[in-house]
A and B are shown apart, each in its own frame.
Chain A
Amino acid sequence: MAAVRTRGEVIRHRLSVTAVLVILLITLAPIFWITATAFKPRNLATTMPPTVFFEPEISPFVKLFTKRSQLREPPTEEVYNAAPWWEKTVFDGGEKVVRSGRGEVQPSGYPSRFLNSLIVAITSTVLAVSMGTITAYGFSRFKVKGEDDWLFFILSTRMLPPVVVAIPMFLMYRAVGLNDTHLGLIILYTAFNLSFSVWLMKGFIDEIPKEYEDAALVDGYTRMQAFFKIVLPEAATGIAATAVFCFITAWNEYAFALIMTNRRAQTAPPFIPSQVGSGLPDWTVIAAGTFLFLLPVAIFTFLLRNHLLRGMSFGAIRK
C-alpha cells in the first residue's frame, strides 16, 4: 500500500488495525480457553461465571496419563506423605491413582492412543512423501501420455469423502484382518496423502532448473545419480514442507480412524471426544489431552508459515 497520507486515511488505517486485533482475539480465544482449562483444578473448570484467573496446576496432566478411581475417604496422613508429588495432586482432587498388585501405576487410555497417532502419522508420511516425490519427478521431467488426465485422476482420489471410501475398505479389511491395525490405517492415510504429495512436490520440482541435471548428465552422472545427488538436495525444503502437511493431515484425521479402529490401533482424534461420553466428564483432563494433541500442530504451523498458501492450494498458488 502507498504511504499513509491524509487524516481520513490515518483514521481508516487505525480502525482497520483495531478490527484486525479484535478478530485475532476472537480467533485465539477458543484456543486460549482450552489451554487454560488444561491447567485448572477440576472445580474451577466448569464454573459460572467462568474462571479466568487461577493458580495453574499440573494435576490435569497427571490425571491424563494415569488410571484413577474416586476416593471414598481421604487417604491417611501416612499414605499421603509417602506418595510422590504428582500422586499428591491426584489425592488433592479427591481421587487416587490405580495401581496393580505389584504397585505399578496403571496408565490411562491416552498414552497408547497418542503413540498410535505418532506411529500411524509418521509411517504414512514417510511413505506418501517418498512415493510422491519420485512420482512428481517422473511427471515433471519426462513426457507422459495424457499427463493432465493422470494428474487429475491422482488429485480426484484425494477429494473422495472418507465415509464413502470407508464402507468398502471396512469390508475388505474385515476379510483380510486389517481392521483395528496400524497397517490398515497407514495404508489409508498413505493413499489419502499420496495425491497431495504428488501435486505439491511437482510444483517444487518444476521450479528446479532442468539445466542442473543436464549438466550432471553431461559430466557422466546416470539419471538416478542426478536425481539423488542434484534434485533431492535442491528439493529439500519442498520435501520438508510436504512432509509436515502430510503429517498434520494424518495426525488430525478422524473419520477413517473412527470407523477402522476401536482399541488396539485407535488414534487420538476418535479417543479424545469419546471421553466426554456419559456422566460428568472431567473437562480438565480432556483439555489437557487436547492441549498435548494440538501442540505439535501449532508448532508445525509456525515452521510452515511461508508454505501454507502453497500447501493449501495443492501447489497451484505459489505467490
Chain B
Amino acid sequence: MSDLAIRNLFIIPTIVFLIVFNIFPLLYSLGYSFTDFRASTNAPANFVGLDNYRTLLSDPFIWRNFTITAKYVIVSVTGQVIVGFGVAMLLNREIPFKGLLTTLLLLPMMLSMAVVGLFWKMLYDPNFGVINYALGLGKFEWLADPDMALYAIAIADIWMWSPFVMLLSLAGLSAVPKHLYEAAAIDRASGLYTFFRITLPLVAPILMIAIIFRTMEAFKTFDLAYILASQPTTEVISIRLYKMAFQEWQTGMSCALAYIVLIMVLAITNIYIKYLNKVKER
C-alpha cells in the first residue's frame, strides 16, 4: 500500500466515526431545536422557528440556573486552585516517600463522580455523618439547607479535583530553573517577591490550563450535583437540561437549551486548546 492509502486508512475511520456519533446527532438536535417536539408523545413536530430560543433567553428561571452554575464554578474552581496550588507549593521540596504521597493525594480525581457523590452524601448525613461529628456541628443539614447545599457540593468537588490542579502545578513548579531561586537568594529578595516575580509567572501557563479545564468541567457539572442534592438552589444548568429533556419531555425546547450550553462550552474549549498548544510548543 502506498503511504497515502495508509494515511487515509488510518485517519478516515476515526473522523467518520466522530462525525457520525457526535456531529450528526448535534445536527439532528439542531433541527429539533426549532420545533415543539415532545419525545413522550406521537404528535408530529411543528416548526416554531426561533420561539424556543426566545422563550429560553427571556425565562428568568433559566437565568437563575445559569447564575447558580456561575456561582458553583467560581466557588469550586477558586477552592481547587487555592488548595491545589497550595499543596503543590508544600510538596515542592525533598520529602521522604514523595512519590507515594503524591500518588495517594491524586487518588480522589480518578474515582467516579457519581460514587464520590454517594459517599459524600453519607459523610454529610445530619444523623450519622462523620463531618458533623468531626466539626462538632450537631445535626447540621448540609444538603437539605437551600443556602448551604451548593457549597456542600462545591466542597466535595474541591476534595475531588484539587489534586488535578496540584498535579499540573507540580509540573509547573518543577520546571522553574533552580538558578533563578539561587540568584534571588543572593540578591536577598523576600519570599513574597520571589513568589510573585519568579514562581508565579513561570507556573502561570500550566496553571491556566488547569483553571480553564476545571472551569469547563465545573460548568458542565452533572453527576455530583445530581446525586448530592435536589434543591432548586443546586439546579445547575446540566441538571435543568436533563430534567427538561428526560423528565418533562420538552424535547424541542431542551435541544435549544442544549445548543445555548454547547456554544458556551465550545467557546471555553477553544481557549483551552489554544493554551494546550502553547504549552506544548515550549
Give chain A residues whose Cβ lies under 8 Å from the Cβ of B103: 301-302, 305, 308
Instruction: Describe B's contact surface by its main secondary structure.
Output: helix
Residue of A whose beta carbon sits closest to that of B244 = A167
Give chain A residues whose Cβ lies under 8 Å from the Cβ of B50: none
- Count of B residues near A, CB < 8 Å? 98
CB A200 to nearest CB in B, in angstroms, measures 12
Q: Are A168 and B28 in contact (CB under 8 A)?
A: yes
Q: Are A168 and B168 in contact (CB under 8 A)?
A: no
Q: Are A286 and B104 in contact (CB under 8 A)?
A: no
Q: Are B18 and A194 in contact (CB under 8 A)?
A: yes
Q: Are A163 and B130 in contact (CB under 8 A)?
A: no
- For chain A, give the interface size range: 35 or more
User: Restricting to B4-47, which residues have a CB under 8 Å from any CB of A?
Assistant: 4, 6-7, 9-11, 13-15, 17-18, 21-23, 25-26, 28-29, 32, 39
A144 at the interface (CB under 8 A from B): yes
Give chain A residues whose Cβ lies under 8 Å from the Cβ of B117: 273
For A19, give its contact among B4, B7, B90, B178 (CB under 8 Å). Answer: B90
Chain A 1-43 near chain B by CB (<8 Å), digits 1 or 0: 1101000000001001101100110111111011001000000
Interface stretch (choices B54-62, B144-152, B258-266): B258-266
In the bound assembly, the distance between CA atoms of A293 and B114 in angstroms comes to 12
Q: Which of B18, B90, B95 has most A Cβ within 10 Å?
A: B18
Chain A 131-149 near chain B by CB (<8 Å), digits 1 or 0: 1101101110010100010
For A191, give its contact among B17, B127, B163, B270 (CB under 8 Å). Answer: B17
Instruction: Describe A's contact surface by its main secondary structure.
Output: helix
A115 at the interface (CB under 8 A from B): no
Chain A 216-236 near chain B by CB (<8 Å), digits 1 or 0: 000000111001000000000
B74 at the interface (CB under 8 A from A): no
Chain A 278-319 near chain B by CB (<8 Å), digits 1 or 0: 000001001100100110011011100100110011101101
CB B146 to nearest CB in A, in angstroms, measures 21
Q: Are A30 and B119 in contact (CB under 8 A)?
A: yes
CB A237 to nearest CB in B, in angstroms, measures 18
Q: Are B273 and A156 in contact (CB under 8 A)?
A: yes
Give chain A residues whose Cβ lies under 8 Å from the Cβ of B111: 252, 294, 297
Q: Are B29 and A187 in contact (CB under 8 A)?
A: no
Q: Are B258 and A49 in contact (CB under 8 A)?
A: no
B48 at the interface (CB under 8 A from A): no
Q: Are A17 and B18 in contact (CB under 8 A)?
A: no
A103 at the interface (CB under 8 A from B): no
B143 at the interface (CB under 8 A from A): no
Residue of B whose beta carbon sits closest to that of A300 = B110
CB B29 to nearest CB in A, in angstroms, measures 4
Chain B 171-195 near chain A by CB (<8 Å), digits 1 or 0: 1001000100110000000000000
In the bound assembly, the distance between CA atoms of A27 and B111 in angstroms comes to 13
Give chain B residues whose Cβ lies under 8 Å from the Cβ of A131: 13-14, 17
Give chain A residues whose Cβ lies under 8 Å from the Cβ of B25: 165, 168-169, 172
Q: Are B128 and A48 in contact (CB under 8 A)?
A: yes
A254 at the interface (CB under 8 A from B): yes
Q: Are A24 and B104 in contact (CB under 8 A)?
A: yes
Q: Are A159 and B18 in contact (CB under 8 A)?
A: no
A297-B90 contact in complex given A20-B101, A157-B22, A161-B261, C-beta closer than 8 Å: no
In the bound assembly, the distance between CA atoms of A24 and B102 in angstroms comes to 9
B227 at the interface (CB under 8 A from A): yes
A239 at the interface (CB under 8 A from B): no
In the bound assembly, the distance between CA atoms of A37 and B129 in angstroms comes to 12
A259-B265 contact in complex given A169-B25, A272-B118, A302-B103, C-beta closer than 8 Å: no
CB A277 to nearest CB in B, in angstroms, measures 12
A190 at the interface (CB under 8 A from B): yes
Q: Are B107 and A31 in contact (CB under 8 A)?
A: yes
For A20, give its contact among B90, B99, B119 (CB under 8 Å). Answer: B90
Q: Which of A4, A24, A188, A273 has most B Cβ within 10 Å?
A: A273
Q: Are B39 and A171 in contact (CB under 8 A)?
A: yes
Q: Are B22 and A283 in contact (CB under 8 A)?
A: no
List, sorted by A's number, 15 A–B pairs whose CB atoms are closer than 8 Å: A1-B93, A2-B181, A23-B105, A46-B125, A148-B277, A155-B273, A159-B216, A161-B262, A168-B29, A171-B39, A191-B22, A222-B1, A248-B110, A269-B115, A313-B168
Instruction: Supply 9 further A-B pairs (C-beta < 8 A) apart from A4-B94, A157-B18, A273-B114.
Output: A2-B182, A48-B133, A152-B273, A163-B242, A164-B258, A164-B265, A171-B39, A172-B25, A294-B115
> A interface vs B, CB < 8 Å?
1-2, 4, 13, 16-17, 19-20, 23-24, 26-31, 33-34, 37, 45-50, 131-132, 134-135, 137-139, 142, 144, 148, 150, 152-157, 159-172, 174, 187-188, 190-191, 194-195, 198, 222-224, 227, 248, 251-255, 259, 269-270, 272-273, 276, 283, 286-287, 290, 293-294, 297-298, 300-302, 305, 308-309, 312-314, 316-317, 319
